Structure 1
Amino acid sequence: MTADTARTASTPDVVDLCSQLIRFDTTNHGGGDAHGEREAAEFCAATLTDAGLHPTILESAPRRANVIARLPGEDPTLPALLVHGHLDVVPADDTEWSVPPFSGTITDGYVWGRGAVDMKDFCATTLTAVSTITASGHRPRRDIVLAFVADEEDLGTHGAHWLTTHHPDLLSGCAAAIGESGAYTHHVRAPDGRAVRLYPVGTAERGTTHLRLTARGRAGHGSRRNDSNAVVHLVTALHALTAHRWPIVLTPTVETFLHRTATALGVHIDLHDIDATLTRLGDAAPLVENTVRNSATPTVLDAGYKVNVIPGLAQAQLDGRTLPGAEDAFLSEVDALIGGRVDREIIAHTGPVQAPVDSPWFDAMATALRAHDPDAVVVPYCLGGGTDAKAFSALGIDCYGFAPLWLPEGFDYRALAHGVDERVPVAGLRFGARVLEHLLRHV
């Protein structure tokens, strides 16, 4: 262990912090139904205060708490780095779990509980890295702004989006940000049998466009012919959407991922035949297969009220995901596919996120990972879903998915987020704290 990563008796342990954070039941049911965020925020604020910082707790609504703090750097002329994480979690049914989901149990080399990988692990990692830096008596090169927020698991209207709207001054000077969904170990076997450890760093996110489709027709008796059946109009439109093969859109992030991953694995790629390329990438393909196209997935249906009555109205909701630069094309294709008998409206929208791959920020992240795993192959990737980066990028901040975590081979990290028996490796937490501390000191 080097001096840079040594933990003193006065600094908290990342494993204990993660376990304690999990014990705060911060379940977010959506629609404003959430609890526990205030208590978790107070815990984070107390830890930051013990580290010598002066955090501020801001409530967007009663008990919907966010924590902001700034760790001053040596050079105030340098742009600041924002480190953000969310404190809320999705619901957990304890009847499905091996351990109580809010127990924070530490056993078998893992910390168990809801939020272990989404994302109280990174919140604990951040608190540990900052505490270790301040305990050392040294300062980072630049200001580090810390944000622990509410409501990411719903719309962010009580968390990141509220902060950027009502308190943008607290984020002043931030040129880049790091947050969830990136810099974790992804084990891949090359065709020649070599073990390759990829570390995908998020440099882009697909945008979210939630749509409501409405079909109107002529109500009538279910036994009679009806050429204007709203249900039939809607089903026809949904079939066209689900059968549609969305065109390939290669963003800079995805194209760079394909080239760098193929080089690491020693395989040939053909950008004109993406399906064949994904096959050659093997176990690396899941990192990119959902982000080479836009998508539109039906998720909610609402039609009818009695089996022998043809309703005059039928509706569906779609979860649309759009790649950077492809939003207009997405809506045009949807309109063409659903035809003239179905109307569509946007019910929620957040735009795609894209940050530079070739940048000093990305280079610093890669350096921090390789400092603690010399064989790390650091690649950019595009998130298929979304994070609070969408809020912070609206302020002109380049947002990256960088929440370092070492994972053992065979550990299905992405399946455990929102899943049953969510857990995070103890060794992975310690690795993440060391990598993040390295980045914050030297970036």
Structure 2
Amino acid sequence: MDTAQICSDLVRIRSENPPGDTTDAAEYIRELLASLGLPVEMVRGPDGHWNVLAGDRSQPLLFSGHLDVVPARENHWIHPPFSGYNDGEHIWGRGATDMKGGCAAMIAAAARHIDAGKECPVHFAFVCDEETGGRYGIRLLLRKKLLSPCDCLIAEPTPHLSPSIGQKGLLRLDLSFKGIPGHGSLYPYEGKSAVEEAARFVTWLRELNAREYPVDQELRVLIDNTTASLSAIFSLPDAGKVLRRISYNPGTIHGGTGVNVVAEECTLQLDLRLPWGISPETVTEEIRQQAQGAEIDVVSSCTANLTHTDSTIVRILSSEIKKEYGAPVRPIIQWAASDARFLRSAGFHVVDYGPGDVTTLHARDERVSTTQLTAASRIFEGVIGAYARL
């Protein structure tokens, strides 16, 4: 199987999320895996949310990837976002980097291993909705107990020498601030503005962000690696602060009914990313103290998580990356989130590593180089071979 061709085919199969309909992409994957002689099971969520499981689930290694992609506006792309155009150097289009290229590299690697007559120590889970929180994807598979804890490689795009072995925690809150309405001409002497209450709270978030949490030696090395990687890719020299501090984003805010009425209600959607050393529950309780009187709903949460550098999956993957590129491997930790957080919380040892141009992730002109696709597929084949020898 040709890695670039599989990637190109997948990009041409539209699977934007929302709405999250992966029917056609899942069927394409099902046919590929079935052609390898692997047992395949399709697991359905609502409204075309299809997942694909394949292989013997008692095997020690899970390859996983998501089939959904973020939406793309059709205009201002060098090549149309769902063309899957191959110019000989890159595959272009939405999902080429995140992460249909990684899915293609995994399948091609397994195909070469199986075609060589070798027993395959890996099973597969391709899921439908990583981009919107995994409710009908990896979380559904875990809830149905269709996957059991093992070592896992997710083909999320990463720098080529830097597998991601951990990620910050996540806390998403919906807050509703209450006020006392009145005529706008008498404020602030009469009434209580819910908008101003929300503004005070948002201002306090800067104090929350100013705190820096201590880390152990393993995390210190990983933060240094990540800082170097981010500085090289995104010109972000303060990555160490990003990883040691609570980052926050007041993503949406809505309040008031008119310019001449003191606002009775103001709602805020808040996204926080938590470093190691602080729990979502602790942060939520402090927020309740700061936003007294506000209604607070915890939408989702998880603690910062890590697969240790001396684990089998990290050691084997790092060895194969070094063989491919002939350079030292520097594992990193993520400031964002992926399906890895759900798998780690369920007892899996997880690493994110895959091909792609991370500067185009979720952006216009998303693309993956054919050289990276080929290298990643060789690395994945090496990982499969190493697990077969265990």
TM-score if structure 2 supplies the norm length? 0.90
Partner in structure 2 of residue 401 of structure 1: 352
Equivalent residue for 1:234? 198
Residue 71 of structure 1, CA deviation: 5.2
Partner of 1:255: 220
Cα distance change of structure 1 residues 165 and 244 upon mapping to structure 2, 3 Å threshold? closer
Query: If each structure's strand is expressed as a fraction of its own residues, which one has the higher value?
Result: 1
1:343-380, CA deviations, whole angstroms, 9 ceiling, x for partnerless residues? 433122234322112222211111000111111x2222
**CA–CA separation in structure 2 for the residues paired with 1:297 and 1:124:** 34
Q: Cα offset for 1:285?
A: 4.4
Q: Distance in 2 between matches of 1:282 and 1:45?
A: 37
Give per-residue Cα distances to partners, 1:37-86, cap 9 Å, x unaligned: 111111111111112212111112242111101258xxx7xx61111100
The match for 2:250 is: 298
Number of the residue aligned with 1:5: none
- For residue 171 of structure 1, what is the aligned residue in structure 2? 147
1:93 aligns with 2:73: yes
C-alpha change, 1:124 and 1:211, in structure 2 (3 Å) is: same
1:384 aligned onto 2:335: yes
User: Residue 6 of structure 1 aligns with which residue?
Assistant: none
Matched, 1:434 2:378: yes
Quote the offset at 1:435 in angstroms.
0.7
- Distance of 1:289 and 1:422 partners within structure 2: 28
**In 2: Cα distance, 1:402 partner to 1:298 partner:** 30
Alpha-carbon distance in 2 for matches of 1:243, 1:101: 41
The structure-2 alpha-carbon separation of the partners of 1:63 and 1:214, relative to structure 1 and needing over 3 Å to count, comes to closer
Give the unaligned 5+ runs of structure 1. Answer: 1-11, 186-198, 266-277, 408-412
Q: 1:329, CA displacement in angstroms?
A: 4.1
**Map 1:185-204 → 2, pairs under 5 A:** 185=160, 199-204=161-166
- The answer to whether the 8 A contact 1:233-1:341 is kept is no
Partners of 1:385 and 1:165 in 2: how far apart?
23
Task: Report what 1:364 is aligned to.
Answer: 316
Q: Which residue of 2 aligns with 1:212?
A: 174
Residues 293-313 of structure 1, C-alpha deviation per residue, up to 9 Å, x if partnerless? 122210010101212111211
Contact 1:210 1:319 in 2 (8 A): yes
Q: CA separation in 2, counterparts of 1:82 and 1:51?
A: 16
In structure 1, give the amino acid aligned to 2:220.
Answer: E
TM-aligned CA deviation for residue 178 of structure 1? 1.2
Percent identity, aligned pairs only?
25
Indicate the RMSD between aligned Cα atoms, in angstroms. Answer: 2.7
**Which residue number corresponds to residue 331 of structure 1?**
284
Q: 1:59 aligns with which of 44, 49, 53?
A: 44
Q: Which amino acid aligns with 2:374?
A: R
Query: 1:416–1:209: structure 2 CA closer, same or farther, 3 Å change rule?
Result: same
Residues 279 and 365 from structure 1, CA distance in 2 versus in 1: closer, same or farther, beyond 3 angstroms? Answer: closer
Q: Distance in 1 between matches of 2:231 and 2:32?
A: 47
Task: Tell me if the contact between 2:89 and 2:371 (Cα under 8 Å) persists in the aligned partners.
Answer: yes
Q: How does 1:126-205 map to 2 (within 5 A)?
A: 126-140=106-120, 143-166=121-144, 168=145, 170-172=146-148, 174-181=149-156, 183-185=158-160, 199-205=161-167
Unaligned runs of 5+ in 2: none
CA 1:287–1:39 in 2, change beyond 3 Å: closer, same or farther?
farther
Q: Look up the equivalent residue of 2:39 and give its one-letter code.
A: H
Structure 2 residue matching 1:378: 3-state secondary structure: coil
CA contact (8 A) 2:166 2:306 kept: yes
